[in-house]
Amino acid sequence: MTNLPRGLAGRTAVVTGGAQGIGAAVVERLCGEGCRVVVLDKSAEHGRTMVDHWRQQGHDVRLAVGDVTDEAAVRSAFADVPAEWASPTLLVNLAAGFVFEGLDATRADWHAALDPTIFGLTLVTREFAAGLPDQDADAAIVNMASISAHIAQEGYLTYNTSKAAVLGLTRCMAQDLAPRGIRVNSVSPGTVWNANNERFHREALGLDRAAAEAAPEHGGKFLLRRFADPAEVAAPIAFLLSSEASFITGTDLVVDGGYLAV
């Protein structure tokens, strides 16, 4: 085992989909660890708001506006890393297509589900790996899967399939990149109480967080009887990026409050 520094201070990370929800929590956590962060997100509005917020806190964060399926945008995100920053050696792939359809899914539905989640993830990872040294990069990648990758859910064919594919991608990437010292893992969170889930529970179900967590068919499905906060997913992602996880690669870390144990 090499004597690697335990912390992430001084490292540069790239986080796709980092302007909202879990992504924003990941950026917040990495900034707190002393990282400089490039946020690649297709939402200029959310991205600028969050980057301004982090910069006001004294963090070094750069926004690259673009879609992960756009090869030019991805190349630009890596090419425009400030010269005074260390080259990126940490990558978190969070951008995905959130399409919830069953067998009636159209070709357009499948493209919307798979293009960002699979092709975009692969494109970003390829560009990231191309900028690393051939060996001993001390680099790490974390991909975002889901508990939906592990189970069947009615009407979720497109989403669950895309997230199950992330598990396969992670294992294959880990094997391909291991000779260069690059670790690749994934995280499978359960339901996270972010803006989108809050909106869905309030508008579609008429439930606030307390009521949703108390409902047997919602929070009651988790052993901990609640949903996760975004920071509770960001923390294990930071762990997998760090040298504390130096012998972990090709695996999926389930962060689900006991959902899959039931």
Catalytic residues: 159
Rg for the chain, CA atoms, rounded: 18
CA–CA dist 103, 123 (Å, integer): 28
CA atoms within 13 A on the CB side of 226: 7
CA–CA dist 53, 171 (Å, integer): 36
Helix (H, G, I), strand (E, B) or coil at 216: coil
> Which is it for the CA torsion 252, 258, 261, 262, positive or negative?
negative
- Concatenate the DSSP letters of all residues of 110-134 into one string: HHHHHIIIIIIHHHHHHHHHHTS-S
